Amino acid sequence: NRLSMIRQGQGLAMRGARAMTAKSSSGKATWDGPRPAGYPTHVKTIASLKKEQIESVLDMAQDLKASPKKYMDALKQKTLLMLFEKPSLRTRVSLETGMHQLGGQGMFYSLADSPLGKKETIQDTGKVVSRFVDAVSMRVNSRLAVEEMTANSTVPVINALDDYGHPCQMLADLLTIIEHKGSLSGLKMAFVGDCQNNMTYDLMRTASVMGFHLTVGGPKSSDFEVEGGVIQECEALCKQPGGGAFRITHDLQDAIKDVDIVYCDSWMSYGVAAEERTERLKALLPFQVTEKAMELTKPDSLFMNCLPAMRGEEQTAAVIDGPKSVVFDQAENRLHAQKALLVSLINGFGWRPAVHNE
């Protein structure tokens, strides 16, 4: 019996050694099915997507908005991890609702009480969560966090807002413009106000990639001007076939004269200290969008703001609540555009439901 026990122990040890040297069967790709070509695509800015990919997302967004039941199982049993460092209303609600409507699940994770970036590195987190979930969205303070996550994640990562871009808002805005204008062809847009922010940068990229014209207007000050790196990036994008154009001015009337769309964003973002308000208001007030300013635009022009908005600051109440305003269409279209983006990233660009459930 003693000899038998020894031999049995030796056999277990040998099997254990073989198990330690054998190739691991772990890794989400080994048990979660095949991936579409080019997988994963990470969306750090709107320029992370090619023009044809953006057009594909917008085409799906229009279809699923018109026929949502066709897509009710598009992401069945799929999970989106939503990382939030910054406050949110539209982003969280639209992403969670969208995943539910697609048959999947959106999982909110607050970084306020998280070890991410402190006890646990973003690099390790990216590698770990890639084995649990099907996509990751991040609403964070710094572009560096998005860069680190995309460098270490093997599932798609979506920048849901950082200090460098807001691609989800861009897709919603493009969908809104197409609904109201029919197309982007020949479009002239003006963004006015604080030009040193994520919205300005991604609007510049959007115009450059999608082939329309954008004028950026804001104070001539190092506190409000576009980063040089973004200007260089957009100059290169404009040189691509079908590229758009942009220019920068420091005069409100020059910026908005005869444009199709006037766009502005909050002057007091979440990161602005209370003691800075007075100086910022003084510098930015010449770029407030008023009814008189809107008279300089085309007769059928639109007013856009990605929200939240402060009446009496970046625009007057008469403008944002007036007949040219489409701000709540923009807000709604966050839901439809993000649903289309998630389906495209997880299932592949050009994917469409094989079976209609309507």
- Point out the residues that are catalytic: 139, 166, 169, 265, 306, 334
- Which amino acid type is present at position 346? I
- Which amino acid type is present at position 63? D
Rounded (5°) CA angle 336-95-83 = 145
3-class state of residue 162 by DSSP: coil
Rounded (5°) CA angle 193-195-199 = 100
User: Got the DSSP string for 50-89?
Assistant: -HHHHHHHHHHHHHHHH-GGGGTTTTTT-EEEEEESS--S
**How many helices, marked H, and strands, marked E, lie in the chain?**
14, 9
Task: Provide the token pair at 178.
Answer: 């197409």
Closest CA to 269 of 232, 310, 300, 303: 310
Distance CA 194, CA 285 (A): 10
Distance CA 13, CA 356 (A): 55
Strand ranges (DSSP E) for the chain? 79-84, 105-110, 135-139, 157-161, 188-192, 213-217, 245-249, 261-264, 302-305
